[in-house]
Amino acid sequence: MLPPGGATTTTEAGQGQPLLPDTFTLKRMSEMFMERSEQNVIQLNQQTLTPGQVTNFVINNVGLGESLELWVEGTLTIANASADTPVALTLSPEFPFNLIGNLQVQFNGATVISNLSGYELLGIMVKRHKNLLLGQAAAGTAGKLAQNLTRVDKSLAYVSAGANVTLAAGNNICGVTTATVAANSDGVINFGFFLELPFTLRKDLLLGLIPMQNNSVYANVSLTSPLLLGTTAASPLYKSDLPATATHKASAVNVYPHYNFWSIPVPNDPKLYAFLVSHSYMLLSQANNPVAKTGPEALQYNMPNNYYLLSLLLTLRDSTAALADTYSNIDNPYLNYNGTARVDRRKIQPRMARQAMQYEGMPCNLGQLLWDGTDIEYLPNGTCTSKWLNMYLANNPQFVADIASGFSAAGTFSVLREQLVPANVQIL
């Protein structure tokens, strides 16, 4: 755990300067910088996203980067060459967010500060912002919580029918589960979605600002889009017996990036921001970890070392690559730390109930589970660093959970680590 009270000089490997373990000091440091700076945004060049390909662009060399926003919208055209049979395609539960299969930001060609899927980024947005997911009211006889009944507001994502397509409502993140393309027709699906990739710990705690003010530094952004059609839920649109007559004909997907940044103070005083930019706030995902069995502690994830851990976001999939309800399939998750400590071990029901109170809404998307070491950050006098785990000193750290007997073994899970790496960036 981080030591309490004030800036503390550390001697762990990889740390070259103090960390701030208390929110009050870090917030005051951020406020001093913000008082002398100005927040602004640049609309970057429009990009085109092509299913099955990678799109690359560079963030402008301006100011100190706080976040990157992406508004993605367009059309997907599916050709149905069958003369007399419509084809019904299932929209994967995370559609359209999984049109970005991977988002990576690399600083100066060496340091990857973000590497995650669009759906995982949505999960981080849910963690960082209250009431982002539309959950379920406790009414009627519907029974216990079912994650597939959660939705996002249409301002965050939408799906609509274009020419020769009929949509059917159902339980996924946008409330649409099936798109039926008329026989001997080209069917069009319209969509749009919003993502915000943070570079800082919080909006008011600017630890992690990326120093983009110098022309000798650069940040590359890569967006990987998966192939559109398939036979499993790993594809955005799928059908288990996909006929050869159904093909992806065309797409017109536009990405509108916006770069949010803070200006360099005038007159320039690097002491105001040197500490904030030298530490990296990172979102790093490790995908396709196997779930080979069910039962107590069947899910195990061996964690790497040398960072400070803020939270873990787990995404569970069954043997068909479909998102699996974590409320029904996972129990007693915890972090095994230094061989003996069981950190934050709770049953799944009180865990999600507690998180619903803290975030004033549904805490997780379908298939996701949040283990949050910063889950007291909304308390006015709370120190959001009080539950961070020092992975520089960790001994064989593991994330462990029980898997329900009804879960289809041979499933997989991804783990997104929200972490802080100190003394990671030098100002040029």
User: What local confidence, expressed as pLDDT, does residue 354 receive?
Assistant: 86
| Strand ranges in 143-245 using DSSP code E only, listed in sequence order | 151-152, 157-161, 165-169, 176-181, 185-198, 210-211, 219-224, 229-230, 237-238
As a whole number, the mean pLDDT across the chain is 87
Of the pLDDT bands very low, low, confident and very high (cuts 50, 70, 90), residue 289 is very high
User: What local confidence, expressed as pLDDT, does residue 216 receive?
Assistant: 78
pLDDT digits (tens, 9 = 90+) for 67-106: 999 999 999 999 999 999 999 999 999 999 999 999 999 9
DSSP alpha helices (H): ranges in 255-405? Answer: 274-278, 326-329, 348-359
Picking from 30, 56, 47, 198, the residue whose alpha carbon sits closest to that of residue 113 is 198
Find residue 21's DSSP bridge partners.
none
Residue matched to tokens 């009627």? 140
Query: Can you tell me the distance from the alpha carbon of 203 to that of 45, in angstroms, rounded to the nearest whole number?
Result: 25
- Does 190 map to a domain? yes
- Does 10 map to a domain? no
Q: Nearest 5°: phi and psi at 385?
A: -90, 0
- Does 18 map to a domain? no
| Strand ranges in 53-110 using DSSP code E only, listed in sequence order | 54-58, 64-80, 87-91, 102-107
Q: For the whole model, what pTM was predicted?
A: 0.92
- Does 330 map to a domain? yes
Tokens of 44: 């970057």
Distance set, CA 387 to CA 311, 351, 390, 392 (Å): 9, 16, 9, 15
pLDDT digits (tens, 9 = 90+) for 338-381: 777 788 888 999 998 888 887 777 888 999 999 887 665 554 44
- If residue 28 lies in a helix (H) or strand (E), which one and from where to where? helix 23-35
Q: Nearest 5°: phi and psi at 33?
A: -70, -45
Q: Does the pLDDT of residue 5 top 50, yes or no?
A: no
- Does 209 map to a domain? yes
pLDDT digits (tens, 9 = 90+) for 327-336: 999 999 998 8
- Best-predicted range by mean pLDDT among 1-5, 10-14, 100-104, 302-306? 100-104
User: What local confidence, expressed as pLDDT, does residue 2 receive?
Assistant: 32
Coil, helix or strand at residue 250:
strand
Which residue range(s) make up the domain with 361? Answer: 25-137+145-421
Count the residues in the chain.
Answer: 428
Please count the other Cβ atoms lying within 10 Å of the Cβ belonging to residue 343: 17
378: domain CATH number is 2.70.9.30
Higher-pLDDT residue of 109 and 286 is 286
Query: Can you tell me the distance from the alpha carbon of 20 to that of 41, in angstroms, rounded to the nearest whole number?
Result: 28
Picking from 264, 305, 306, 303, the residue whose alpha carbon sits closest to that of residue 286 is 303
pLDDT digits (tens, 9 = 90+) for 106-116: 988 888 999 99
Of the pLDDT bands very low, low, confident and very high (cuts 50, 70, 90), residue 138 is low
Report long-range pairs for 159-163 (Cβ below 8 Å, ≥24 apart): 159/91, 159/95, 159/96, 159/189, 159/190, 159/191, 160/189, 160/190, 160/191, 161/188, 161/189, 161/190, 162/75, 162/187, 162/188, 162/189, 162/190, 163/187, 163/188
User: What local confidence, expressed as pLDDT, does residue 396 receive?
Assistant: 87
Tokens of 260: 């949010």
Find residue 301's DSSP bridge partners.
399
User: What local confidence, expressed as pLDDT, does residue 22 receive?
Assistant: 64
- Does 3 map to a domain? no
Distance set, CA 172 to CA 110, 134, 159, 414 (Å): 37, 12, 11, 19
Of the pLDDT bands very low, low, confident and very high (cuts 50, 70, 90), residue 11 is very low
- Does 15 map to a domain? no
End-to-end distance of the chain based on CA atoms, in angstroms? 32
DSSP state of 351: H
Q: Domain tally for the chain?
A: 1
Of the pLDDT bands very low, low, confident and very high (cuts 50, 70, 90), residue 160 is very high
Query: Can you tell me the distance from the alpha carbon of 244 to that of 226, in angstroms, rounded to the nearest whole number?
Result: 19
Of the pLDDT bands very low, low, confident and very high (cuts 50, 70, 90), residue 17 is very low
User: What local confidence, expressed as pLDDT, does residue 344 receive?
Assistant: 83
- Does 9 map to a domain? no
Find residue 315's DSSP bridge partners.
368, 414
Q: Residues 229-257: what's their mean pLDDT?
A: 96
